[in-house]
A and B are shown apart, each in its own frame.
Chain A
Amino acid sequence: MAMSNSVNVRFDLNDEALSVDVEARTLLVDLLRGQLGRTGTHVGCDTSQCGACVVLVDGRSVKSCTMLAVQAAGTCVRTIEGVSGDAALHPLQQAFREEHGLQCGFCTPGMIMSALELIDRNPDPSDRDIRHWLSGNLCRCTGYRNIVRAVRSGARAMRDG
């Protein structure tokens, strides 16, 4: 099908400058997962409830299933693929592993991207802060206790790091 309403979008993805042509109706998550092959960002509910698709746009966590790719023009987007840099795992990823903050792992990229904004705003969040902040991220396996513990422990590691 002809892309009748193709738009050129330039943005930074995990510190790499990109210029891509997308149909105007393309969701950010579909651009990331499809055209750009970054499948670490997940689609869970596709209705902006579950948070599996959370990415950072200019440092702010957003649900990429409810944002058009064209709305990301001129921004810096960070996905789970871009959090660890040269290390194998980011300290927050390491904390999720050590604290058993995941079972199936489907919600984990979204949990981590959300929590990164929280820790950026509040380097020492309380359990209450963490629970409130993660209200837009659903996990159907762990029951959240270990997720909260992992975020607290990851925040500590980031402060000490």
Chain B
Amino acid sequence: MHDFAYHRPTSLAAAVRLLDDIDDASALAGGMTLVPTLKLRLAAPAALVDLGGIAALAGISVAGDCLEIAAMTTHAAVTANDHVRTRLPALAALAGRIGDPQVRNRGTIGGSVANNDPAADYPAAVLALDARVVTDRREIAAADFFRGMFATALEPGEIIAALRFPLPARAAYAKFSNPASGYAIVGVMVAQTRNGVRVAVTGAGPAVFRATDIENRLERAFRPSALDGLLIDAATLNDDLHADRAYRAHLVAVMARRAVAAAA
């Protein structure tokens, strides 16, 4: 690991200032991706701004028909939280299957969403549930936030403060995990929201995406049989040593059916 300067601000404003003022500074959330990246010298920032000391970035609350999860909330805290378990159990279940217990004890929802790993679980939930990404300076709709592999709408130095999830009528997430890493080879989140059925797929493509074919079928009938005979176009899907693109296409349909069965 290359050397870097270390800062641990106690307010969001101070963290934003540090990221603005220092050339080539990176924000550090739980570190479950960034620390391995630093160890491999795939990144060598001049400074790290650790968000772990900012009290305002922790906590889960319910406001109206929204569940708000502060960015530094760990996966373990999400999966154990009573509000999440009762009002959005699909999200509690998703968080409880990320990585392993030690990853869940350190990894954070804000870090995962900001990183937008193509095989991460949370982006599927954010997109399918039509969540809003609340940053230090604005709110971004999920549809505008994810911009492709590891790419997001975040500006340089912009920090996610919270994720705001409107509560769906019903939702579920089904994942075919890589047994070594726990990452999704294919993960599908289905949700009946106030704006209709939304289905988001992670792991299968270069970045999380909405499956409009599946949405249209489920809009007509929200049951697994609505997906009978569904063929997913494999052309744009990932193809690697874990699964070729035809297998991933097959898994998208299988996971979608399982998620609908779980939600229905």
Total interface residues on B, CB under 8 Å, equals 28
Total interface residues on A, CB under 8 Å, equals: 30
B264: CB under 8 A from chain A? no
Q: Which residues of A contact B36 (CB under 8 A)?
A: 47-48, 66
Shortest Cβ distance from A22 into chain B, in angstroms? Answer: 10
Q: Is the CB of B3 within 8 A of A135?
A: no
Contacts of A54 in B (CB 8 A): 102
Find out whether the CB atom of A133 lies under 8 angstroms from the CB atom of B4. no
Residues in B with CB closer than 8 Å to A101 are: none
Q: In the complex, what residues of A have CB within 8 A of residue B31's CB? A: 66-68, 71
Q: Is the CB of A49 within 8 A of B180?
A: yes
B36-55 vs A, CB cutoff 8 Å, 1 = contact: the mask equals 10110000000010101000
Residues of A within 8 A of B28 (CB): 68, 71
Q: Chain B residues with Cβ under 8 A from A24's Cβ? A: 3-6, 48
Q: Residue-by-residue, is B15-45 near A (CB-CB < 8 Å gives 1, otherwise 0)?
A: 0000000000000100110011011000000
Q: Please, how many angstroms separate the alpha-carbon atoms of A118 and B31 in the complex? A: 23
For the complex, is B168 an interface residue (Cβ under 8 Å from A)? no
The 5 closest A-B pairs by CB, nearest first: A136-B100, A24-B6, A60-B105, A25-B1, A63-B102
- The interface of chain A, by Cβ under 8 A from chain B, is 4-5, 7, 23-25, 27, 46-49, 51, 54, 57, 60-63, 66-68, 70-71, 73, 114, 117-118, 133, 135-136
A-B contact pairs, 18 of them (CB 8 A): A5-B5, A23-B3, A24-B3, A24-B4, A24-B6, A24-B48, A48-B103, A49-B181, A51-B100, A60-B76, A63-B103, A67-B106, A68-B31, A71-B28, A71-B50, A71-B52, A117-B101, A136-B103
Give B residues with C-beta under 8 Å from A.
Answer: 1-6, 8, 28, 31-32, 35-36, 38-39, 48, 50, 52, 76, 99-103, 105-106, 180-182
